[in-house]
Amino acid sequence: MSIAIMLAGAFLIVLVLWEAFETIIFPRRVTRRMRMTRIFYRVTWRAWKRIVHLMPAGRPSENLLSIYGPLSLIVLLSLWAFTLMLGFGLMHWGAAAISENRESFATTLYYSGTTFFTLGLGDVRPLSTFARLLTVAEAGTGLGFLAIIIGYLPGLNNSFSRREVNISLLDARAGSPPTAAEMLHRHNDEYGMESIRELLHEWERWSAELLESHLSYPVLAYFRSQHDNQSWLAALTSILDTSALVMVGLEGARARQAQLTFAMARHAVVDLCLIFGVTPRWPEPDRLTPAQLTNLRSRLLAAGLIPRTGDEADLKLMELRGMYEPFIFALSTHFRLALPPWVPESAIADNWQASVSTPERGQLRVISSRSRSERHF
């Protein structure tokens, strides 16, 4: 029985250390499905979404969803630490390592915790040679584990910050939430097509960085943006929509850069679907009905842009949409992130246009500036 208990403890230790290695240090995608971390996020995220589903839609539910990402990371790290302490505790207890007479398991677990966090209180001491070696090994594991965690968090925060900077920059370029129609409409000046090319080039790199960071740190996908009408998925979708329109045909636009950006962005959404194990399916309802497509082209024509029309153009656009929309809809459903429309649904001010007026009787009154029809640039 003692040998079985020690083997169980060793198994828990190896399991957690390997999980931490794959999650924090290993830079490649882990394809193994039976993982402690994967099971943790599947179970807790489903439960969290059920709780949010019971709440009324709006700011409270969105705030609760935004808490999950950081909170789940803290809980996961705590779970790893507790499992390591439990594993070492089982090894101590199985080997009767605390004293000549085996202590209770609660006392053994307490000793394991003080050793793991290198407290060294001394009220319980190892007596045998094996117990002392095990104590040193646990103290070194605890110190190394904490060091890795301390080094992991800044890298995670830096990846999140780099992702959010470009999402914020997209606000003035494509609206809030970002849409393909607004992005093209706001670049209809003399150098608009060159600006579109440069913008798509920047977002080709952003898509590559998003793919790399979210494969290395999948928990980042659960971190939500600062504004409720912005998200990494909405930004990625608007870029794919814009690239698809340029690839179908837009007078004066260079399709080559759109093709490169489309390829990189689609690569990102497909791989993320594989990572999170979601099944692609066509959006319901359709994001771009024939009536909405007609409205989209009318808006582009009104802005001085000449899109390609006809059955061939419609067929090509549908083919391109089929290459990414099922994947983004699956991710949207999984993360409960709203997908942006192709055409803005109403005259909503951008986030940068929201301001705070002079305080009146101790209260701040939020105002928004001009209507959408007055603020295109």
Question: CA 206, 267, 67: angle at the middle one, nearest 5?
Answer: 60
Specify the higher pLDDT residue, 103 or 65: 65
- Region of residue 158 (left: phi > 0; alpha: psi -120 to 50; beta: else): alpha
Q: How confident is the model at residue 318 (pLDDT cuts 50, 70, 90)?
A: very high
Residue 119 has pLDDT above 90, yes or no: no
SS3 372: helix
Which of 217-221, 324-328, 358-362, 363-367 bottoms out in mean pLDDT, i.e. has the lowest? 363-367
C-alpha closest to that of 125 among 91, 97, 90, 106: 97
pLDDT, mean of residues 124-131: 80
**What is the residue type of 137?**
A
Q: What is the pTM of this model?
A: 0.85
Token pair for 359 = 């305080």
CA distances (Å), origin 184, targets 38, 44, 196, 269: 40, 40, 8, 22
Q: How confident is the model at residue 191 (pLDDT cuts 50, 70, 90)?
A: confident
CATH class of 2-151: mainly alpha
Q: How confident is the model at residue 358 (pLDDT cuts 50, 70, 90)?
A: very low
End-to-end CA distance of the chain: 76
CA distances (Å), origin 257, targets 51, 80, 194, 202, 203: 43, 45, 11, 10, 10
How far is Cα 133 from Cα 125, in angstroms, rounded to an integer?
Answer: 12
Q: What percent of the chain shows pLDDT beyond 70?
A: 91
- Per domain, the residue ranges of the chain are 2-151, 175-345, 348-377
How far is Cα 160 from Cα 210, in angstroms, rounded to an integer?
Answer: 9
Q: How confident is the model at residue 264 (pLDDT cuts 50, 70, 90)?
A: very high
Token pair for 345 = 């649904």
Q: How confident is the model at residue 373 (pLDDT cuts 50, 70, 90)?
A: very low
Radius of gyration of the chain (CA): 27
| Ranges 75-84, 110-119, 144-153, 249-258, most confident | 75-84
Q: How confident is the model at residue 48 (pLDDT cuts 50, 70, 90)?
A: very high
| Ranges 33-37, 134-138, 299-303, most confident | 134-138
DSSP secondary structure string, 252-306? T--HHHHHHHHHHHHHHHHHHHHHHTPPP---SS-SS-HHHHHHHHHHHHHTT--
